[in-house]
Structure 1
Amino acid sequence: MDSEIGKTIEAETFEALMMRQAMSLISSEADKCEIKLREFMMEAMHWFEIDRMTMFPNSMLFFNQGKTLAVARPPHKIVTAEQVGIEDAERYLRLIGNSEQTQTFNRAALENSDVVLLRMLAAQGACCHYTIPLSQFGQRWGGISFTIFGQNRCGLNDKKLEQVTFLAQVWLSYWQHSKLHRSLHKPNMKTSSENNKMLRLSHRQCDVLGHLANGLSAKQIATELSLSPRTIESHKYRLMDMLELETHSELVQFALRNGIGY
């Protein structure tokens, strides 16, 4: 986005920015959803003076599966799975997924965090980082995080945080509906195969799978379902066998693709 476009966006009121984006999304084609959303995320970042932003359609989906939308204003670049590592990426996603409140990390909190990604942001010059949970119909269904860089900059006030959250809800709602539209109009063999596998699962297996997708340990699931941790582990490996999956991560991804979990 060139400087002239950036200046035009900054001159808009928030209400004008919001209405223009919402009307454009309503009339957009589903296949062009992600292109349009990246464009609008970048516009909002100019308006709020945010440097890097990532949207998660579901908090427990993984960086390396392409299930996030990430944008950054130059000279900053998006953070990749290779830079973070799968294990720490999952720790960061659990940090987002387990919180029901907006979290703010100042420079000191970033530097002293036990999460590698947050310490990486501090090393890159971040002054603050935010994670915001997003909900719909009373249930958690995703989140957004963003970072502001620079020594002499301060974070967003409560009003601007509310505005960012509202825009993110609009973006995520459109993203989810565009994905549904595309899956209904362009079914593929993988989706059909997974649907057939889902039909083979018992109610108990679906319960266990849902708790695993939400990031619970075998011990925590055992407490929730009044079973032993060993029984939960048995269910887990039986699920992996039935669904023809090899790792815990693949099992969680399968669950989230099929609407089980967050």
Structure 2
Amino acid sequence: MVRDVWDVGDAYEAYVGRWSRRVAREFVAWLAVPPGGLWLDAGCGTGALSAAAREAGAARVLGVDPSLGFLRQNSGDRTAGDARALPLRGARFDAVVSGLALNFVPGPARAAAEFARVAAPGGTVAAYVWDYAEGMTMMRLFWDAAAEADPGGGMDEGARFPLCRPDPLAALWRDAGLGEVAVRAVEIPTVFSDWEDYWQPFLGGQGAAPAYLAGLDEEKQMAVREALRRRVPVEEDGSIRLTARAWAVRGVRP
């Protein structure tokens, strides 16, 4: 199986980072953490969620991520680390957040327990993940096309990540000992100027779908492209207007 690739920040931004930034703002507003606090962004990547936290008034945001490539392109306060074993003392942060990363962590229960450990008593612990099964349309269309063009060869994130649904997310937070658990959908428009604007980011190699595509020979890549092009709805002006839904979960450390 082709592994997911997370290393080149610019390619990631073109693929999904630009959409993550819009979700991050709504997510942070929903958390309503008082300004002036200390935040941890676990799986910070190129810094979309960290930036939203700073815009909302966080006094300091520390980012942790295992990808040195992403960290080099993250201008914030950041360090290398594993979400399952955070290199930080406990009971420290007013808010511990994670954006689009939790489902890629082997053993997410360990990560959720670590999030709870480093949060201060009364602190907010929260995360969001794409709704790969249904609501993240740009990816859903891709994986449906891949299943047609390359039966049995895909890495469909909808099937791979059962965590990315409301009930499993809420259960994960409760099992980590967090209270006042709530889950909500965050949906944003994802508008592409034309077919090439939609297709080109899949060629960047960053993330599950682009990594899968890069592992195919040219003939299969073209088969996926054509199967996808038949599925994508195109407006009269050539634009492609889709939506992206993420599921967000929050809780409070007792």
Say whether the fold is shared (TM-score over 0.5).
Answer: no
Higher relative contact order (CA 8 A, sep 6+): 2
Please state which structure has a larger fraction of its residues in strand: 2
Point out the structure with max Rg over C-alpha: 1
Q: TM-score, normalised by structure 2?
A: 0.31
